[in-house]
A and B are shown apart, each in its own frame.
Chain A
Amino acid sequence: MNVQLRFWNSLDELKQHCFYIYRYKEDLEKHNRNMNMFLAFVSNSSIGAWIIWQELDWLWAAMVAISQVINAVRPYLATENRLKALRSIYPEMESIFLKYENQWYAVSEGRIAEDRIFALVGEMDKEKNQLFNTHLEGLALPTRESALDYAKDAARSFFRSRYGIVEN
């Protein structure tokens, strides 16, 4: 494969990964926000005093019990740790993309030798993997289909508007 094409494809994949991480993080933020709202609702004493709970006391008791379980296990939930990691990964991954995108002009104009372009591709992959391994520290990140679909569409739009090119 042409080494410039390899550089371009790595850049393309890196941008898709940026969008993937962004969407993954947003989904987990939403999940986290909903959980916080539930916990705030149940722990609010004035809401607990509503007359309706006299009729539905079993429901209120169940909600209180669930909130206590959530509070107890929350620090150990993988979702919490994933969210923390993704909050750090996303901005750093965008920085890596910008760093290598800035090299694209010189690469495309033939101003950088083939062996140097090949080395740049290796450095890009290495930086991305290091970033991921450092922040996730062995924590699994299951593939999220909705985030993948979003990443592909967003990257297509990005390259179309930035470089005026037709997608594959």
Chain B
Amino acid sequence: MSGKKHNDGDFSNKGFGLPPLEPVSKMPPIKKPPKPDKNESSGGKQSG
């Protein structure tokens, strides 16, 4: 079914809307992100 084309040769019945696409590029070099800071999740509210 996938890839079957209509008469004008350009539309396919793969779907409607934005089609999901495989990545075409490799990710550049990265550094590891920091782990979430557990102290940050206390809400930040101050008494007083």
Residue positions of A touching B, CB distance < 8 A:
3-5, 8-9, 12-13, 16-17, 20, 107-115, 117, 128, 132, 136, 140-146, 148, 151-152, 155-156, 159-160, 163, 165-168
Q: Is B44 an interface residue (CB 8 A)?
A: no
Q: When the two chains form the complex, which single residue of A109, A141, A151 contacts B16, counting CB atoms closer than 8 Å?
A: A141
A-B pairs with beta carbons under 8 A, tally = 106
**Contact (Cβ within 8 A) B25 A156:** yes
**Contact (Cβ within 8 A) B26 A168:** yes
**Contact (Cβ within 8 A) A113 B34:** yes
Interface class of chain A by DSSP: helix
**Contact (Cβ within 8 A) B17 A113:** no
**Contact (Cβ within 8 A) A144 B17:** no
Number of B residues near A (Cβ < 8 Å) is 30
**Contact (Cβ within 8 A) A112 B33:** yes
Interface class of chain B by DSSP: loop
**Contact (Cβ within 8 A) B34 A110:** yes
Residue positions of B touching A, CB distance < 8 A:
5-6, 10-37
A136–chain B nearest beta-carbon distance, Å: 8
> Given contacts A142-B11, A155-B24, are A17 and B18 in contact (CB under 8 A)?
yes
Cβ contacts under 8 Å, B16 to chain A: 140-143
**Contact (Cβ within 8 A) A159 B24:** yes
